[in-house]
Amino acid sequence: MKVIPIQTAGISIMNNIAEGFERKSSKEFSRFLDISKGSCGEVRSMYYSAEDLQYISPEVAQNRRERAKHISGGISGLMNHLKSIIT
């Protein structure tokens, strides 16, 4: 099975959240959430490239960028919540 870079970045979002949670420290969890947000940005960037290279339609690219941005917003909300309970 061939895994493409967008899939790898997307999986990284989920895996970093899981890894941070398992660290059992709010500070570490927050750090891994930040890494996950970075992976969301990476996914959005890759969809711009995929659209520019005409691998996918503009509509599909836009939809997936919006979904990644929504996920990033959820991660931000969780990070803000953690900040409010650890400071």
Q: What CATH number corresponds to the domain at position 19? A: 1.20.1440.60
SS3 1: coil
Distance between CA 1 and CA 52 in Å, rounded? 25
pLDDT in tens, 24-67: 888 899 999 999 999 999 999 999 999 999 999 999 999 999 99
Total number of domains constituting the chain: 1
- Over the stretch 58-83, which tens digit does the pLDDT of each residue have? 999 999 999 999 999 999 999 999 88
d(CA 81, CA 61): 30
DSSP label of 55: S
pTM flag (> 0.85): yes
SS3 4: coil
What range defines the domain where residue 69 resides? 5-86
